[in-house]
Amino acid sequence: MQRRILGLATVLITAVGATACGSSDSGSAPSSPSGGSGTTTVKVGIIPIVDVAPLYLGQRKGFFSSRGIKLEMVSAQGGAAIIPGVVSGQFQFGFSNTTSLMVAQTKRIPVKSVANGAATNGKVGGDVTGLLVKKDSSVKSAKDLAGRRVAVNTLQNIGDTTVRESVRLAGGDASDVKFVEVPFDQMPAALDGGRVDAAWMGEPAQTIAKAQGARVVASPFAETDPKLTVATYFTSTRLTEQNPDLVKRFTEAMTESLRYATDHPDEARQVLTTYTKISGDVLKKLILPGWPAQVDMASLEKLASLSEKDGLFGDKKPDLDALFS
């Protein structure tokens, strides 16, 4: 098992132990309205990226407040911080890619997905993430990546798993791709400077890279499955047991937010300016993900199978029905 996966498991298990040993009830949100205001304050651990736009849009439209929820978004660097934060009660809900949630569950971390988060838009060549190379690169397709250095934001996760699938589908040797960990916001410079041969970028990084002349050679999410569920909102199983009403209200509000964002993409795009520094031409040109109201279980089964091939789960497979349904 890769060191990164073991390290993540250690962090998560420590968080679970801290929760189990603590005397407080920090793992559940207050069941009664806080501060006498008729609302319950709920902390949500998020990554400030394009994918979470429906959450902010739903807050603006009153979908949460109408259900007695006052949202407090807390930014984190990724699932490695958000998952233990949810389990320990620092957050009541969190946003994470589906691979990280599967890995957590196989490590017996008590998490439960409660609402969809984001999905591929299914457009090869125009998806929310893309595999980009420099304009003058000799790489013409994912097949040519064997032996090359490819940037992903996190090793042994959804990025390199889906990139490998694109390489296989193009007829290349996926086992010979050399992955390098680079933060999304540093990828355009890493690619332009020749530190990597290709980069798997999300938004707005890929729009910025395109403006520098980079070109898309593969769309790993869309090619893996045109309906791939990429991320979801989740909570601890403890909260689902202790405060099912709060979980139900959050799920309903989030689902309404996803549907509204899908039907009003211009508003979803504009709300990005409230929690990111995206503006100008990048804001106009960046590609939005899909925001379906429900997860696609068939796509998650495929992703789990690919992740298993990559050795992410050790000797235990994730229970997708328990985690996502």
Is the predicted pLDDT of residue 111 greater than 80, yes or no? yes
Is the predicted pLDDT of residue 77 greater than 90, yes or no? no
Q: Where in the chain is the domain with CATH 3.40.190.10?
A: 3-120+227-324, 130-224
Residues 34-60, mean pLDDT to the nearest whole number:
88
Q: Which of the four pLDDT bands, split at 50, 70 and 90, describes residue 261?
A: very high
Mean pLDDT is lowest, of 25-29, 72-76, 196-200, 305-309, for 25-29
Predicted local distance difference test score (pLDDT) of residue 35: 41
Q: How is residue 63 written in tokens? A: 């979908």
Predicted local distance difference test score (pLDDT) of residue 37: 55
Is the predicted pLDDT of residue 124 greater than 70, yes or no? yes
Predicted local distance difference test score (pLDDT) of residue 9: 42
314 Rama class: left (phi>0) / alpha (psi -120 to 50) / beta: left
Predicted local distance difference test score (pLDDT) of residue 199: 98
- Relative to beta strand 149-152, strand 198-201 is parallel
Which CATH number fits the domain 130-224, given the four candidates 3.40.630.30, 3.40.190.10, 3.40.50.300, 3.40.50.1260?
3.40.190.10
Location of structure tokens 């328990």: 322
Is the predicted pLDDT of residue 55 greater than 50, yes or no? yes
- Listed in sequence order, the residues at least 6 apart from 32 whose beta carbon sits closer than 8 Å to its beta carbon are 40
pTM over the 0.85 mark: yes
- Identify each DSSP E strand in 62-110 by its residue range: 69-75, 93-97
Predicted local distance difference test score (pLDDT) of residue 315: 87
Comparison of pLDDT for 20 and 45, the residue scoring more:
45
Q: Which of the four pLDDT bands, split at 50, 70 and 90, describes residue 76?
A: confident
The verdict on domain 3-120+227-324 having CATH code 3.40.50.150 is no
- Whole-angstrom Cα distance, residue 259 to residue 206? 26
Q: What is the pLDDT of the chain when averaged over all its residues?
A: 89
**Maximum Cα–Cα distance across the chain:** 64
